Amino acid sequence: MNKRTKTILNQIIRHIILAIIGSLFILPLLWMVSTSLKTNRQIFVFPPQWIPNPIIWRNYPDVFDYAPFLLYFKNTAIIEVACITGIFISCSLVAYGFARLNAPGKNFLFLLMLSTMMLPYQVWMIPLYILFTKIGWINTFYPLTIPAFFGSPLYIFLLRQFFMTIPHELEDAARIDGCSYFRIYWQIILPLTKPALATVMIFTFMGVWNDFLGPLLYLQSPDKYTLAVGLQVFLSQHGADWGLLMAASTMVVLPVIVIFFFTQKQFIQGIVLTGLKG
Amino acid sequence: MEQSRLKRQESIAFYSFISPWLIGFIFFTGGPIIASLYFSLTNYNVVSKPEFTGFSNYINLFNDPLFWTSLYNTIYYAIFFIPLGILIAFVSAIMLNQEIKGLALYRTIYYLPSIVPAVANAILWIWLLNPQWGLINTGLRLIRIEGPGWLSSEQWAKPGIILMSLWGVGSWIIIYLAGLQGVPEQLYEAAEIDGATKFQRFIYVTVPLMTPTIFFTLVTGLIGAFQVFTQAYIMTNGGPVNSTLFYALYLFRNAFNYLKMGYASSMAWILFLIILSLTIIQFKLARKWVFYE
């Protein structure tokens, strides 16, 4: 065997191993889509058909007949917009303060903020629920959106790390010219850290889309449900209708996958920096 | 004089900039934390006033068999999920860390499951783990194995949920991949010059340099394991026979189904103490195996 055939063989073996591992990751998703395109009669057969024959699209429009998924989508979108806006404004402001300005008590406050990241959310979940009950926020979007305007320690930390990497010279020059701190933040820091800001916004999007416990606790009437809670209710009503359930699930998963494909770079960077579970 | 004026100005600016977090901390985190500590010492059902009972919630917890069941289930989950997750992610990352065509596609495929939203993921896995028609048992049948009842079996429900978690291990793969790519090329070259085989280079160069990354996933993985909630709530609601009653789920039930807010708060603080002590132990042990430059 000459050297060339050896490298080609080597490459083929590697591809086979990568493909075997890969199939374990991808097959469940393909199975989801495949099931969503079948009638019950096609679903319950052995061995299973991967490509349905014929392909049945009916499950998709049916989902909307059985449950108000467009309304769930609208509710989720409202919460998304509020949270992304809130996180963007609050976290970038706070991160700028921690990254660039000095004041007595700064280190203590920074440590305080980091230490809250270590606490399990259950510790403040109950009093927060009671607080929101007492001020009449139950069954509104406020408990899910207002806190976003007060920052999130993880994202503040991530942005601070980015802001620290920007050279001080730019700011010093601007300060000498009489530029206010806010203008420096707005006109120098923010434009220079667009990728980091994008990462934070994408993660916020994913977090809201994914959130189940929050809406479960705070939203009670079905017209307020988000996609996550709506999907869970849908499961309890159509527990055995797998074609329908997989169609609904596919529609909830799809936007996330689309966003992932368009923003892979920021995404990967964000995971590496925060170690966050996506 | 001018100097101190500038300093004061900067301080005012600092506190203005961080004020969103500071206000949020007082109302949404710090205040609730103190309240939670107080509630944990009371009997409180939201409707009537909290009634101070000292440490009785904590004492009752230790005599509550379901508390121990939930703790056992959670530890079981952590003991299997974390090492297996680390192993799968590490092997996958090594496979992805080579020069080969189509790598970006493989990387995307490996990562994709971990971005599937929790509820959709849970529903998909109820279907995959369906004893008769699910993909898992169908696959096992092809190699002449009759799969278990998974989520309907007291013995197999936890492994089923662990399997599902392992499928979503993609973010660890990405973290490990970044770690592997951060190993300086010179170290491999130096080892090669010294006559190290490929395997030796892996054991003596790659593994030591990856230990901080592995340690990181170990710590965050353990914290995450103790907060598993959504999957169990949707897929099994704790059953069958409490075999998937995880800690966070039992805490949730006490708080929002039985309205035992004080009792649930004491569970939250015990959870905090468990996580804190496990993290401290891990940091202590880390000195023995984590390699710092």
| Sequential DSSP letters for A132-186 | HHHTT-TTSSHHHHGGGGG--HHHHHHHHHHHHTS-HHHHHHHHHTT--HHHHII
- Count of the separate structural domains present in chain A: 2
Of B136, B115, B114, give the one whose Cα is nearest residue B125.
B136
Is residue B244 domain-shared with residue B125, that is, in the same domain? yes
Whether residue A27 is predicted with pLDDT greater than 50 in this model: the reply is yes
Is residue A83 domain-shared with residue A10, that is, in the same domain? no
The answer to whether the CB of B148 falls within 8 A of the CB of B155 is yes
* E strands in chain B: 42-43, 51-52
Instruction: Work out the average pLDDT over B267-289.
Output: 91
Return the number of other C-beta atoms located less than 10 Å from residue A9's C-beta: 11
Question: Do the chains contact at A277 and B114, CB–CB below 8 Å?
Answer: yes
Chain A residues with CB under 8 Å of B251 CB are 122
Which among B20, B108, B279 is the nearest to A150, CB-wise? Answer: B20
Whether residue B287 is predicted with pLDDT greater than 60 in this model: the reply is yes
Q: pTM for the full model?
A: 0.91
Q: What pLDDT was estimated at residue A277?
A: 45
Which among B20, B112, B234 is the nearest to A29, CB-wise? Answer: B112
Q: What pLDDT was estimated at residue A278?
A: 36
Whether residue A276 is predicted with pLDDT greater than 60 in this model: the reply is no
Instruction: Work out the average pLDDT over B20-29.
Output: 94
Residue B276: CATH number of its domain: 1.10.3720.10
A120 backbone dihedrals φ, ψ, rounded to 5°: -65, 140
Is residue A78 domain-shared with residue A40, that is, in the same domain? no
d(CA B31, CA B27): 5
Whether residue A263 is predicted with pLDDT greater than 80 in this model: the reply is yes
- Count of the separate structural domains present in chain B: 2
Residues 6 or more apart in contact with residue B112 via CB below 8 angstroms:
A25, A26, A29, A257, A260, B170
Q: What angle do CA A211, B242, A130 make, to 5 degrees?
A: 45
Q: What pLDDT was estimated at residue B1?
A: 62
Confidence band for B244, pLDDT divided at 50, 70 and 90? very high
Is residue B38 domain-shared with residue B131, that is, in the same domain? no
Is residue A34 domain-shared with residue A157, that is, in the same domain? no
d(CA B94, CA B201): 13
**Shortest CA gap A8–chain B (Å):** 11
The answer to whether the CB of B175 falls within 8 A of the CB of B217 is yes
Domain end point (choices A11, A36, A56): A56
Is residue A49 domain-shared with residue A133, that is, in the same domain? no
Is residue A37 domain-shared with residue A129, that is, in the same domain? no
Confidence band for B290, pLDDT divided at 50, 70 and 90? confident
Is residue B177 domain-shared with residue B34, that is, in the same domain? no
Domain end point (choices A36, A56, A76): A56
Give the tokens for residue A34.
Answer: 């495949």
Is residue A45 domain-shared with residue A73, that is, in the same domain? no
Instruction: Work out the average pLDDT over B99-108.
Output: 87
Is residue A48 domain-shared with residue A163, that is, in the same domain? no
Whether residue B149 is predicted with pLDDT greater than 50 in this model: the reply is yes
Return the number of other C-beta atoms located less than 10 Å from residue A220's C-beta: 12
Q: What pLDDT was estimated at residue B254?
A: 95
The per-residue DSSP string of A207-221 comes to HHHH--HHHHHH--S
Which among B10, B101, B175 is the nearest to A272, CB-wise? Answer: B175
Give the residue numbers spanning the domain of A7.
3-56
Question: Do the chains contact at A102 and B11, CB–CB below 8 Å?
Answer: yes
Is residue A233 domain-shared with residue A259, that is, in the same domain? yes
The answer to whether the CB of A82 falls within 8 A of the CB of A205 is no
Most confident range (mean pLDDT) of A190-194, A249-253, B139-143 is: A249-253
Is residue B18 domain-shared with residue B69, that is, in the same domain? no
Instruction: Work out the average pLDDT over A39-46.
Output: 84
Is residue A74 domain-shared with residue A25, that is, in the same domain? no
Is residue A52 domain-shared with residue A73, that is, in the same domain? no
d(CA A44, CA A243): 11
Is residue B125 domain-shared with residue B40, that is, in the same domain? no
Domain end point (choices B12, B36, B56): B56
Choose from A124, A253, A256 for mutation: most chain B CBs within 10 A.
A124
Confidence band for A275, pLDDT divided at 50, 70 and 90? low
Residue type, A171: E
Torsion, Cα A86 B20 A126 B40, to 10 degrees, reads 160
d(CA B24, CA A149): 8
Whether residue B250 is predicted with pLDDT greater than 60 in this model: the reply is yes
A249 backbone dihedrals φ, ψ, rounded to 5°: -65, -45
d(CA B168, CA B122): 11
Instruction: Work out the average pLDDT over A85-97.
Output: 96
Question: Do the chains contact at B171 and A206, CB–CB below 8 Å?
Answer: no
% of chain A residues with pLDDT over 90: 65
Point out the least confidently predicted range of A93-97, A242-246, A247-251, A273-277. A273-277
Domain end point (choices B36, B56, B76): B56
Is residue A129 domain-shared with residue A24, that is, in the same domain? no
d(CA A132, CA B21): 19
Give the residue numbers spanning the domain of B238.
61-289
Residue B293, classified by CB atoms within 10 Å of its CB into exposed (0-12), middle (13-18) or buried (19+), is exposed
A235 to chain B, any CB pair closer than 8 A? The answer is yes
Helix (H) or strand (E) holding B225: helix B207-225
Distances in Å between the Cα of A32 and the Cα atoms of B25, B124, B184 are 42, 7, 41
Residue A177, classified by CB atoms within 10 Å of its CB into exposed (0-12), middle (13-18) or buried (19+), is exposed
d(CA A132, CA A231): 25
% of chain B residues with pLDDT over 70: 99
Residue A177: CATH number of its domain: 1.10.3720.10
Q: What pLDDT was estimated at residue A272?
A: 79
Is residue B239 domain-shared with residue B283, that is, in the same domain? yes
Return the number of other C-beta atoms located less than 10 Å from residue A39's C-beta: 13
Whether residue A148 is predicted with pLDDT greater than 60 in this model: the reply is yes
Is residue B47 domain-shared with residue B167, that is, in the same domain? no
The per-residue DSSP string of B160-189 comes to HHHHHHHHTTHHHHHHHHHHHHTS-HHHHH
Confidence band for A268, pLDDT divided at 50, 70 and 90? confident
Residue type, A3: K
Of A121, A92, A96, A61, give the one whose Cα is nearest residue A243.
A61
Is residue B36 domain-shared with residue B124, that is, in the same domain? no
Whether residue A137 is predicted with pLDDT greater than 70 in this model: the reply is yes
Is residue B22 domain-shared with residue B103, that is, in the same domain? no
Is residue B111 domain-shared with residue B11, that is, in the same domain? no
State chain A's mean pLDDT as an integer.
90
Q: What pLDDT was estimated at residue B228?
A: 92
Chain A residues with CB under 8 Å of B17 CB are 93-94, 96-97, 101, 181, 185
State chain B's mean pLDDT as an integer.
91
Domain end point (choices B34, B56, B78): B56
Is residue A133 domain-shared with residue A185, that is, in the same domain? yes
Question: Do the chains contact at A264 and B108, CB–CB below 8 Å?
Answer: yes
Q: What pLDDT was estimated at residue B6?
A: 84
d(CA B82, CA B113): 17
Is residue B21 domain-shared with residue B108, that is, in the same domain? no
Confidence band for B2, pLDDT divided at 50, 70 and 90? confident
Is residue B40 domain-shared with residue B158, that is, in the same domain? no
d(CA B172, CA B174): 5
**Shortest CA gap B191–chain A (Å):** 23
Q: What pLDDT was estimated at residue A266?
A: 81
d(CA A210, CA B168): 14
Tens-digit pLDDT profile for residues A154-186: 999 999 988 988 888 888 888 888 888 999 999
